[in-house]
Structure 1
């Protein structure tokens, strides 16, 4: 079990305990806008969680009031096309997509623009009943640039995604739940608790199985069905060689809780 650690950097807090790291965006004066400093803090937090063997799952949140209102538009206005393509911001989004451990977004209030795209880099989303999700970039004469056009279309289909991306529509948590994006809807005061409970459930399973299972799910977005099935079988074959696989079966047969070690 890992001891609790709290670190703050760039408007981001990091707390780790009971095999779960809770990463909190803490920039309320700017509605948790995703400045370069915030993105850097998120990258540092995910790097820390990835390198800590005691951390088996991550919760990404902004607390019960607001998740993230989007990109820091003042920074964006001053950015040229060439600067954007080579920026630290772009590198941060690539890092989020490569994070290998299971992750849960616990979102509340504004979940807009880059904030919505950030939530969609996670594996599961728990939303409060106050959450408002969407991609309003079209109102600024731009489009989402961190996955909004692609991930919304994969979640709910191109035509529903067009309502958000092209019409700038926002949706509440229950609508997002019906669209297949949100896993649970809870009261705002419980959103971090619910997200952490879900992450602790993920952390109770074999770390190697959850990492490889996450990778297999992500591959379904990029591989054709035949290739995806081949990849799934190869992952299962790998897991059949692990100690955790033997422990899971022995615990089931012995009617006791398993003790997974990640080996």
Structure 2
């Protein structure tokens, strides 16, 4: 349940004066921000909403009160996808930015969790794939159905999916517009965890609590390193890992972690 410290986020950017189809709240006490897709019943994502989601992730990345960001949907479905008519109305220049906007969770330095239930189709799936963790309920159905419209995924879906599950399974999902369950997504390594629908929020809460107990500096470093070395050779990845490890050795958080370990107490990380 939200704490009494939860407040609706206010943004200085005039482009975020009125949010299109979603809300943003910050719980400073729990060091958590929630982005909730809110265009029931299916939480269809508009073209303008994609631009705003990018701006919101950038704003939350710079908000010192926030350690973890959670993306969820109102009601029984995360999102059935984008506003189909909007693709025909959007300019080529706007369409060219779709993948950049939806990749905002991956670029964000903080951990991002997608809480998925019900339909998670099209851009809803692509947005979830750009997050660091996907917690699926047993009602979740994932799909990239663009082939049914004579199109292909345009916001990074097929590319991210192929990195996760390989070309054979990606072709099975993309070229057949195939729906897969949350359990199958977990079995294939797409979903981090699958839980009963009634337990989705508590599972997400538990993951948030787990993540904020770690050093924010080490978390940012790990996320950046893993993202940057995803398509690197093994030798390059090991070299970069070594450089990151070396830099963290001089941090206050590492010193605090070692001290707390020897004193048999919980560490008090500050992100420095």
Report the TM-score, using the length of structure 2 for normalisation. Answer: 0.89
Structure 1 residue aligned with 2:267: 258
Q: Does the alignment pair 1:223 with 2:237? A: no
Provide closer, same or farther for how the CA distance between residues 101 and 181 of structure 1 changes in structure 2, counting only shifts above 3 A.
same
| Cα distance in 1 for residues equivalent to 2:91 and 2:25 | 36
Cα deviation for residue 63 of structure 1 reads 3.9
Deviations 1:65-96 (A, max 9, x none): 111111110101223545422x5x45423434
| Cα distance in 1 for residues equivalent to 2:64 and 2:255 | 21
| Alignment root-mean-square deviation, CA | 1.9
Cα deviation for residue 34 of structure 1 reads 1.4
Cα deviation for residue 6 of structure 1 reads 1.5
Q: How many equivalent residue pairs? A: 260
164-173 vs 59-68, greater mean Cα deviation: 59-68
Q: What SS class does the counterpart of residue 122 from structure 1 fall into?
A: coil
Moved over 4 A (4+): none
Q: What SS class does the counterpart of residue 80 from structure 2 fall into?
A: coil
- Checking the alignment, whether the CA contact within 8 Å between 1:63 and 1:107 is kept in structure 2 is no
Provide closer, same or farther for how the CA distance between residues 193 and 15 of structure 1 changes in structure 2, counting only shifts above 3 A.
farther
Which residue, out of 200, 205, 225, partners 2:209? 200
Cα deviation for residue 149 of structure 1 reads 1.4
Structure 2 residue aligned with 1:160: 169
Report the TM-score, using the length of structure 1 for normalisation. Answer: 0.92
Deviations 1:149-192 (A, max 9, x none): 11111111100110111111110000000001111111223323
Q: What SS class does the counterpart of residue 157 from structure 1 fall into?
A: helix
Q: What SS class does the counterpart of residue 60 from structure 1 fall into?
A: strand
| Cα distance in 1 for residues equivalent to 2:222 and 2:156 | 21
Q: 5+ residue gaps in structure 2? A: 10-17
